């Protein structure tokens, strides 16, 4: 069952390529955002830190360095409401004066700028989300902490975390959606080529791939493929024509040669020479057989015979064939069993259908060992189509050769010592195809089972009553 389009698109090369590009663009965006963030943060921190530093210097220069003096300076600053944060901690860590209590573990490190928020346990005014400052140790053992409001830093963090999510999410969504649509349109074109190729392989050499007229690389590829198919079709027709012409034109001289050999044989009194003539006649007969099989194949492949199709009851036909070949098989110590349901109507050409069964039954007799059974069955399958099976107990055909043996002149190595031309099954396949019948091989453990399944309906029906 074909996978749904969405799955095929997701697994396609085009989508994977788009995904890679998306991931690389996403990484690029992350790196650029990180650089911008770092630059902005450094600038803001630099401004805050220099304000803190100059305030520190001011307080230290205004006072003589005694605890009382510094306390007074801080009081002054608090009264001026400079907007800065101060804390003077005694050697025990107790807050002596200031507007922010950073006593305790908050400012463990001296001489480093640090950003502190309520999350660090600070009690800050509502409009302040963070402060940034530094603590220094005074000569008398006190710690002086000065900080600046650092709301910008928090705002920057918040802005960046949101925009980062939006940026990366946006790139991923847009990239993947773009990739999906690109993959889907590429897949459609590839599938048009695939389905046309399958039809061509199935024998429709006239099939061409549709262009969409956009002139893109797919269209250019399709134009080249179609031109190649035109060329192949012409070459195939030439080959077929030549082989038909040869078969046809050589038949008359070969027939004359055969007559001459017959005459010469009659005229020779020497039995050894007569045997040589017999051998030569046999060879000529075999060549004539090949030529007539090839001409028949060519004729069948034009499919023009369909116009003469009639309703044929396969039941008596298969019965009669079983009877006829029982004698042939018995001479070879092989036993034919026939099991036929009646009636079994198919639409077709009686003579060709007979030829088709003869070729398969002859193979079964030829390739199965003496003393073994050959079973011919014909029945109506559950779908209402006629099924015919010929099963033998010979060496069978390996699965890998099932398709190949239907081609012309293909003979398996194991049967090279048997008489034959390799055209029998090619003819069988052509006749089955003409009748719309499926042919399949299966293992008979041991042996070969050849199964024909005719369609339930046939559009070429002229006579719908099955004549017994
Ligand atoms: N019943 C069978 N059992 C084993 N091999 C078979 C059987 N029928 C056909 N084959 C193999 O398929 C080949 C092609 O068969 P066919 O076209 O009838 O040619 P031919 O019988 O002239 O060799 C045979 O040469 C043989 O190798
Ligand atoms: Mg054969």
**What is the residue-level pLDDT of the chain in tens, covering all 468 positions?**
556 778 888 888 888 888 898 899 889 988 998 999 999 999 999 999 999 999 888 888 877 767 788 888 888 888 877 788 998 888 888 888 888 888 765 666 788 898 888 887 788 888 888 999 998 888 888 888 999 999 999 999 899 889 888 988 998 899 889 888 888 888 888 989 999 988 887 667 888 999 888 888 899 999 999 999 999 989 888 888 887 888 888 888 999 999 999 999 999 999 999 999 999 999 999 899 888 888 888 888 877 777 788 999 999 999 999 999 999 999 999 999 999 998 899 999 999 999 999 999 999 999 999 999 999 999 998 888 999 999 999 999 999 999 999 999 999 988 788 888 899 999 999 999 999 999 999 999 999 999 999 998 643 444 445 654
- The side-by-side arrangement of strands in the sheet containing 143-149 is 95-98, 85-89, 143-149, 130-137, 114-117
Ligand 1 pocket test: pick from 290, 390, 403, 422 the residue with the most ligand atoms within 8 Å of its Cβ.
422
3-state helix, strand, coil in the chain (%, to 5): 60, 15, 30
Ligand 1 contact, 411 CB (< 6 A): yes
- Residue 411 CB coordination number (10 Å): 15
Q: Which atom of ligand 1 is nearest to the CA of 392?
A: 1
Residue whose token pair is 């069948």: 300
Cα of 274 from ligand 2 centre, angstroms:
29
How far apart CA 99 and CA 189 sit, in angstroms, is: 73
CB-based contact 394:332 (threshold 8 Å): no
Cα of 256 from ligand 2 centre, angstroms:
27
Give the ligand whose atoms come closest to the C-alpha of residue 362.
2
How far apart CA 463 and CA 468 sit, in angstroms, is: 13
- List C-alpha distances in Å: 454 to 34, 118, 202, 313, 389: 71, 85, 18, 12, 12
Q: Which atom of ligand 1 is nearest to the CA of 359?
A: 18
Ligand 1 pocket test: pick from 416, 423, 425 the residue with the most ligand atoms within 8 Å of its Cβ.
425
Query: Cis (ω within 30 of 0) for the bond into 185?
Result: no
Which residue's CA is minimally distant from atom 7 of ligand 1? 363
Ligand 1 contact, 183 CB (< 6 A): no
- Provide the pLDDT for residue 233: 87
Secondary structure class of 449 (helix, strand, coil): strand
CB-based contact 284:265 (threshold 8 Å): no
Cα of 239 from ligand 1 centre, angstroms:
25
Q: Which atom of ligand 1 is nearest to the CA of 401?
A: 12
Q: Residue count of the chain, please give it.
A: 468
Which residue's CA is minimally distant from atom 22 of ligand 1? 420
Ligand 1 pocket test: pick from 406, 411, 414, 416 the residue with the most ligand atoms within 8 Å of its Cβ.
411
CB-based contact 428:439 (threshold 8 Å): yes
Cα of 445 from ligand 2 centre, angstroms:
21
Ligand 1 pocket test: pick from 367, 369, 414, 431 the residue with the most ligand atoms within 8 Å of its Cβ.
367
Residues in the 5 Å CB sphere of ion ligand 2:
363, 420, 424
Give the ligand whose atoms come closest to the C-alpha of residue 421.
1
Q: Which residues contact 103 (CB under 8 A, 6 or more apart)?
A: 87, 89, 93, 94, 95
Q: Which atom of ligand 1 is nearest to the CA of 395?
A: 4
Ligand 1 contact, 274 CB (< 6 A): no
Cα of 291 from ligand 2 centre, angstroms:
15
| Rg, the chain, Cα only | 48
Q: Which atom of ligand 1 is nearest to the CA of 418?
A: 23
Of 352, 366, 371, 377, the closest CA to residue 429 belongs to 352
């Amino acid at each position: 069952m074909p996978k749904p389009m969405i799955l095929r698109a997701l697994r396609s090369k085009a989508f994977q390529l788009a995904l890679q590009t998306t991931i690389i663009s996403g990484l690029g965006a992350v790196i650029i955002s990180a650089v911008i963030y770092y630059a902005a943060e450094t600038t803001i921190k630099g401004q805050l830190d220099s304000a803190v530093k100059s305030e520190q210097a001011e307080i230290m220069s205004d006072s003589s360095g005694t605890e009382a003096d510094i306390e007074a300076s801080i009081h002054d600053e608090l009264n001026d409401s400079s907007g800065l944060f101060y804390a003077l901690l005694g050697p025990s860590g107790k807050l002596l004066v200031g507007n922010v209590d950073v006593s305790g573990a908050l400012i463990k490190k001296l001489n480093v700028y640090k950003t502190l928020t309520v999350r660090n346990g600070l009690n800050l005014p509502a409009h302040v989300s963070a402060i940034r400052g530094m603590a220094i140790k005074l000569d008398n053992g006190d710690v002086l902490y000065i900080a600046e409001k650092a709301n910008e830093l928090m705002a920057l963090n918040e802005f960046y975390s949101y925009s980062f999510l939006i940026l990366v999410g946006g790139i991923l969504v847009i990239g993947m959606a773009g990739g999906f649509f690109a993959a889907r349109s590429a897949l459609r074109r590839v599938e048009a080529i695939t389905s046309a190729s399958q039809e061509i392989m199935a024998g429709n050499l006239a099939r061409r791939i549709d262009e969409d007229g956009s002139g893109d690389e797919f269209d250019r590829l399709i134009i080249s493929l179609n031109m190649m198919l035109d060329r192949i079709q012409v070459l195939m027709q030439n080959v077929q024509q030549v082989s038909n012409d040869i078969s046809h034109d050589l038949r008359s001289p070969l027939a004359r040669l055969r007559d001459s050999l017959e005459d010469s044989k009659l005229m020779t009194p020497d039995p050894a020479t007569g045997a040589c003539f017999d051998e030569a006649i046999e060879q000529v007969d075999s060549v004539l057989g090949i030529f007539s099989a090839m001409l028949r194949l060519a004729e069948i492949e034009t499919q023009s015979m369909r116009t003469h199709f009639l309703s044929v009851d396969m039941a008596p036909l298969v019965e009669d064939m079983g009877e006829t070949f029982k004698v042939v098989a018995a001479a070879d110590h092989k036993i034919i069993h026939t099991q036929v349901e009646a009636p079994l109507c198919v639409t077709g050409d009686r003579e060709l259908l007979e030829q088709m069964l003869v070729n398969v039954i002859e193979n079964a007799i030829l390739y199965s060992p003496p003393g073994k059974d050959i079973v011919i069955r014909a029945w109506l399958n559950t779908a209402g189509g006629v099924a015919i099976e010929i099963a033998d107990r010979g060496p069978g055909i390996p699965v890998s050769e099932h398709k190949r043996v239907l081609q012309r002149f293909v003979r398996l190595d194991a049967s090279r010592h048997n008489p034959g031309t390799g055209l029998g099954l090619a003819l069988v396949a052509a006749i089955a195809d003409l009748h719309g019948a499926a042919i399949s091989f299966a293992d008979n453990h041991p042996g070969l089972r050849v199964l024909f399944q005719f369609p339930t309906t046939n559009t070429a029906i002229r006579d719908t009553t099955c004549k017994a």
